[in-house]
Structure 1
Amino acid sequence: MKKKELIERLVSEIESGKVKTLGIYGHGASGKSTFAQELYQILDAEKVNLLETDPYITSGRHLVVPKETPDQKVTACLPVAHELASLQRDILALQAGMDILTIEEPWKASEILSGAKPILIVEGMSVGFLPKELFDKIICFYTDEETELKRRLARDTTVRNGDASIILASQQMRREQYLQYYKETESRADILVDQSDDKFQIKTNII
């Protein structure tokens, strides 16, 4: 199944009411945000909320270190880096028909998401640590280390004003923590998409 076919399948399931809350997650620079945006742009904006979870990654994660690797800082691959209770509260609020105010980020202002919209797409790494029962379907994205680094450099230096030297220096640490803490979340997904070498391959298909 190609990307276009998967998007068409999801649009059909969403418009028919089979999927009302969709989770899209994966490690950094795996392609999840791009896919979520492509899907969101096709759907009726009057009926769909897109909740991005990056703002729920706590800025206080530098205060703790991974037990197995005390010389490393905590990346978003560890559950402790995420404000999961707050995120789950906001998802449940939207599902219950209540509005929420999203958290402001340096690259994106806060906005009101309307609880009157019946469809919710939740996108970001935090989804991998949330109870699966919150979602009607979850999709996980993965990519190889070389593709991840290429995308991270392109995104973080332009969109997020990141320093390329810092991104390069931290890449091995990020990948190690992904393999140790985050990769196991991939088994929870209904669909696993591998975008290594900028290809689009579905590895797990339970739709």
Structure 2
Amino acid sequence: MHTDEPAWKFRGILKNWMLEYHSFLVKGMMKFPENSKGGGKMDRFIEDLLVLIHQKDKRFLIGVSGHGAAGKTTFTQKFAGRIGSDRVNVLNTDPYITDSAVRKNTMITYDWNGKEHTFKMTACHPAAHHIPSLERDMKMLKKGMDLYTLDTGWLPSELLSANKKVTIAEGMSVAFLDQSLFDLSIYFYTDGETEFLRRSGRDIKERGMELAYLKQSHDERRVQYEIFMHAHSELFDVVVNTSGDGFVVEKNEGFDSED
């Protein structure tokens, strides 16, 4: 037992070093800091959106989507904060995703780069979302009807008021809706490396997951994203690439913007 102690200590030191190095890579990529290049561009983008909304004299429904850790929630929170809570509803669409306890037992098979893959269904697959329910709720909001959001164990129900001028529906589920439901739709995405660094920083620190397992699951999730989800970005009015700490508007057919 005594002879194994140095090796045990070395493994512990190595693991801690890897976690510290990974944290160094992740630092500054979880959100867009105010003084970063991406943060400044996001601020200008939001200012242009506020001008657009001010010009409208009717209810305005905005859809925001993208894969996990793409920056859609950071953007939505900042944008909604600028509009003001008395003028905006925010609908988090995550409750419309099938529970992970079900998805982890739902295996799907798909081809990627000439190789057959079998893995659990992730939220990048359209079948992981209850689209009819979300579509119904979007139509209610569009027609000016009040709506109570779904009550979950992690997100309590709240009233979305038709008296508020702006409603933002945010989440992965939005990607699989008919985009004509929205007055403006915005899609966020990153490259695979950025997504992995942002997601794994949270999962390693908060959930104690192993980096090797996270890398494997991320790789399969990313493949499913490329196959089943990314093509839907072509139907959005605006597409934003937030790889690294950037904020690059690659497509804008919805409104005038400096970027």
1:1-207 equivalences in 2 (<5 Å): 2-17=41-56, 20-59=60-99, 60-68=102-110, 71-156=118-203, 162-165=207-210, 167-206=214-253, 207=255
Task: Report the residue type matching 1:66 in the other structure.
Answer: I
User: What is the distance in 2 between the residues matched to 1:22 and 1:164?
Assistant: 35
Structure (1 or 2) with the larger CA radius of gyration: 2
Residue by residue, what CA displacement relative to the aligned partner does 1:46-77 show, whole Å, maximum 9, x if unpaired?
A: 12101111111011333533242662011111
Give, in whole Å, the separation in 1 of the partners of 2:104 and 2:82.
38
Provide the rounded CA distance (Å) in 1 between the counterparts of 2:223 and 2:133: 27
Per the alignment, in what secondary structure is the counterpart of residue 119 of structure 2? coil
Q: Which runs of 5+ in 1 are unaligned?
A: none
The percentage of counterpart residues that share the same residue type is: 40
* Gap change, CA 1:30 and 1:100, over 3 Å in 2: same
In structure 1, what is the Cα distance between the partners aligned to 2:92 and 2:165? 17
Could you say what secondary structure the match of 1:196 adopts?
coil
Q: How many residues align?
A: 205
Q: 1:173 to 1:153 in 2, by over 3 A?
A: same
Q: Secondary structure at the match of 2:65?
A: strand
Distance, in Å, in 2 between the alignment partners of 1:51 and 1:205 is 23
Q: CA deviation at 1:194?
A: 0.7
Q: Considering only aligned residues, what root-mean-square deviation do their CA atoms show, in Å?
A: 2.1
Q: TM-score with structure 2 length normalisation? A: 0.72
1:44 positional shift? 2.5
The structure 1 segments of at least 4 consecutive aligned residues displaced by more than 3 Å after TM superposition are: 104-107, 154-158, 166-169
Q: Cα 1:191–1:62, aligned 2, differ >3 Å: closer, same or farther? A: same
Query: Against the structure 1 CA distance between its residues 169 and 118, is the aligned structure 2 distance closer, same or farther, given a 3 Å change threshold?
Result: same
